[in-house]
Structure 1
């Protein structure tokens, strides 16, 4: 058994403990106050240079940030649930990013790893046969749940950071462990990119647990993530009595309904896949009242950034046309977004070689098709634009239910495999071409 394998094996009980604690105290995007404080505290204890809050999150580049009163409520709750008050000042206002750095002072590349921390706005199942219920780590935070495995991603990052701190004398170059807020809704990565977090990174690796692959299966690259834009749209009209004075009303519900139907009629693009979806439409206040407000949650996607922009531009025209038709005011708020980015082919032999050293990986794929969207693409693109190499990996895990499902749960045995892979990459970064 190699030294790395033994260190990771010895760490396994802590990995399970950390992951279950994070699962029990799930926090969604931009309110990961407790989670971020735990990460920052541990990294500091292990000797990392820690940058946090506005040092690593650009305020103007944040998207979909909750209102100030919501942030304040969750910050207070985090403190009550054990957040380190020393760090909360850094994170106050939703600046919940953390970066740990080891600068060895020896020649070598800078390698960066991205781990997302946020939960989803889902009420977790309370059924007795749901493992987190049966073993007492079900989320105690209402309508917040780690239903996509980000609790395990944070744990993998912490596990790798702990092992790397123990073999620091064997490392070269610089290692950056990047803990990102607000991946769900693709809201957080761009703000860390604009803060310069990956500007010095030569090799960048992000990853995800599960995603259709069983425990013991590893993919060197997940390509095909769709560019996307997330929109919150509000139509504002004028309320009036629907029977007595309908002509005095301006119907926001009709504007939104017309927009919804016509958004789906947008012409698709011949250069690749395109998507549009209206996920939420809320309007009106009473049966006999002309609706003066309508709210929509919309997303566009494209196989390339250009295709997504094509769909987005036409969606805006549809929305403006509907507002004009019904004499309603229109407000469009961009609350999330991601680019397309493919793995650097030159990096894949190195990634495969590090995965092959992990005895628990019995199947290794060169690449898989992703299909959804992921804002780590912002980080990948920035690294590649500056001449570096980047990829997005998949850590296979058996799962209890599909991602974003109230009964989602991972196989905790998948975590040490991912930890060992990350450590191998950092230890052998000089071998990457």
Structure 2
């Protein structure tokens, strides 16, 4: 062994011993920094980058994550981590720790989007029309990184960490299927995160209570009578009817919603004839509706159907509305547990300092993580990846979306810290929850 390698090995051993000493001496505040140091090791970082790029090159849509889940299972197997598969079609549930309570869960989503990647680089998507345009490849990698950190320190875990590699977050409500599978029934708390192009690299942001909107989808078919564009008097024009419908839908928010209860209705799909001189028999429109409260979401749903059917009839057309709930159940609002947020904030500050933690306002994007929060206490947060030396990064769901791979160690160490500290604090609490339970 060369002198350089020997020095490096001694340094890593010192880090491990420092970590173990911190835990055994109850200096829990050092755990996040120690994990971050370990996650930034060159070999560890390069391993994560390699995984993330392999996932990115082979994106898979919701419930199609066959190769992605295979990669996850392979890496867990190399670590010696036990797991269940399949769960919720293509999901993987891993376990690290004692096998006994308390239980804490960490979640990552695995699915990609039906978007053609426009970023030219060596590891561009190899699947036409599919792309990891929302960072789920990074989330999956971060959870695998957390698993590696946790497995390396398994003897320090005072309970069991449940690793949730979830399919179909992008509209398929994979979280709902995970909950319904019953694999999280003994879990006391669950944590999730999402990369953000709006925060600086390594910065963290979240809030107590309401964080993200609930959302639903709709599709409507508006039927009239087709004809030649030069003879509109012999047709019943569904295009005009649909145009009037779209205008009327915009008034639901501007005229009916409480200005202090934010809501959104967006029509993002409009399909009709492919010809320039033909009035089609029907057109199809579709979109999304969002609200910060369950009541607001339900009211929007009722009024969207009323407006579409009634406004279509004004133009002598018929309309049918489908809210696609069999395939895409509406997402509830994402609401962070108060106690878990205080806990998360302490972890964030211990790892990165007060200057790198920010309280956010509620946002109108949505997350199926909310299904976990309906079943158990949960907390969701955002991890920054914008490098100050880089031009502004594209928003999620853009064909130009990129992931700053320097963010991977931050996500892995944050997740590992949340799980480790939560188990340590739960096991030392006078009110130990579920201590009679085991896997």
Stretch of structure 1 that moved more, 325-334 or 415-424: 325-334
The answer for the alignment partner of 2:279 in structure 1 is: 290
Normalised to the residue count of structure 2, the TM-score between the two structures is 0.78
Partner of 1:99: 93
Shift of 1:14: 0.4
| Superposed displacement of residue 347, structure 1 | 1.6
Residue aligning to 2:264: 275
Paired residues for 1:250-399 under 5 Å: 250-266=236-252, 267-270=255-258, 272-325=261-314, 326-334=316-324, 335-358=328-351, 363-383=356-376, 389-398=377-386
- Check whether the contact 1:154–1:179 (CA below 8 A) recurs between aligned residues: yes
Distance 2:270 2:239 in 1: 9
Is the contact between residue 216 and residue 361 of structure 1 (CA under 8 Å) also seen in structure 2?
A: no
1:51/1:373 CA distance change after superposition, 3 Å: same
State the match for 2:222 in structure 1: 235
Aligned pair partner of 1:187 in 143, 152, 173: 173
| Alignment partner of 1:208 out of 194, 203, 213 | 194
Q: How many residues align?
A: 380
Deviations 1:178-237, CA, capped at 9 Å, x for gaps: 112222236332222233343322111111112411112122547431111111223344
Q: Is the 8 A contact 2:290 2:364 kept in 1?
A: no
- Aligned to 2:365, what secondary structure does the other structure show? coil
Closer, same or farther: CA 187–255 of 1 in aligned 2, 3 Å: farther
Give the superposition deviation at 1:372.
1.6
Distance verdict in 2 for CA 1:236–1:39, change over 3 Å: farther
SS at match of 2:280: coil
- Is residue 2:26 matched to residue 1:32? no
Inter-partner Cα distance in structure 1 for 2:362 and 2:231: 57
Q: Secondary structure at the match of 2:351?
A: coil
- The higher radius of gyration belongs to 2
Describe the superposition over 1:114-165 as per-residue Cα deviations: whole angstroms up to 9, x where unpaired. 11112222222245xxxxx1xx111111122222211110100111112222
C-alpha deviation, 1:361, in angstroms: 8.4
* C-alpha contact (below 8 Å) 1:207/1:392 kept by paired residues: yes
Would you say the 8 A contact 2:197–2:386 is kept in 1? no
Over the aligned positions, Cα root-mean-square deviation in angstroms equals 2.6
CA displacement at 1:168 relative to structure 2: 1.8
Asked whether the equivalents of residues 344 and 390 of structure 1 are also in contact (C-alpha less than 8 Å), the reply is yes
Alignment TM-score, normalising by the size of structure 1 = 0.79
1:386 corresponds in structure 2 to: none
- Unaligned 5+ segments in structure 1 are 58-94, 128-132, 384-388
1:417 aligns with 2:417: no
User: What does the per-residue CA deviation read over 1:233-273, in whole Å, with 9 as the maximum and x for residues that have no partner?
Assistant: 233444445567964x5543334223212211224322611
1:47 to 67, 73, 80: 80
Deviation of residue 288 (structure 1)? 4.3
In the TM superposition, residue 111 of structure 1 has moved relative to its aligned partner by 0.7
